[in-house]
Copies of this chain bind each other. A is one copy, B any other.
Amino acid sequence: MKKLNLNDIQGTSPEGTKGVDFRPLLTDNVKAPNFYMRIFSISPGGHTPKHNHSWEHEVFVIEGSGKIVLKNGEEKLSPGDAVFVEPNELHQFVNSGDSVMRMICVIPKPKND
């Protein structure tokens, strides 16, 4: 068993994000064999890139509110929402609320690791 707290990890702001604090939680640091757990904290007005990629996302909204922007339209996000983003689907997470939106985001282990 390995345990760490999100506050033990240095946040970064990945390319294409605005107002985003990104922290890997359970990835190669614990030799995760199949999937990687990360956490995003998005400030009000902040967002992730509008992009797509070959792997899926499984997301859980912990706190705050916002929306996911898709190719055609958008959907509101609230605490307790679980979101499945399909492989290759265009998507962007936006904090349209007035407090930090925090969400867990799990991806498959990258194949080129």
Residues of A within 8 A of B (CB): 1-7, 25-26, 30, 32-35, 37, 39, 56, 58, 60, 62, 68, 70, 75, 77-78, 80-87, 89, 91, 104, 106, 108
* Copies of this chain, tallied across the complex: 2
Which of A4, A7, A91 gathers most chain B CB within 10 Å?
Answer: A4
Starting from the known contacts A25-B82, A60-B104, A62-B62, 6 additional A-B residue pairs (CB-CB under 8 Å) come to: A1-B83, A3-B75, A3-B82, A26-B83, A34-B34, A35-B108
Q: Name A77's closest neighbour in chain B (CB-CB).
A: B3
CA distance A81 to B104 in the complex (A): 12
Chain B residues with CB below 8 A from A2, complex form: 83-84
Interchain CB contact under 8 A, A68 and B4? no
Task: Provide 21 A-B residue pairs closer than 8 Å at the C-beta atoms, listed in order of the A residue.
Answer: A1-B68, A1-B70, A1-B83, A1-B85, A3-B77, A3-B83, A4-B81, A4-B82, A5-B81, A5-B82, A6-B80, A25-B60, A26-B58, A30-B84, A32-B56, A32-B84, A37-B58, A37-B106, A58-B106, A62-B62, A106-B106
Interchain CB contact under 8 A, B37 and A3? no
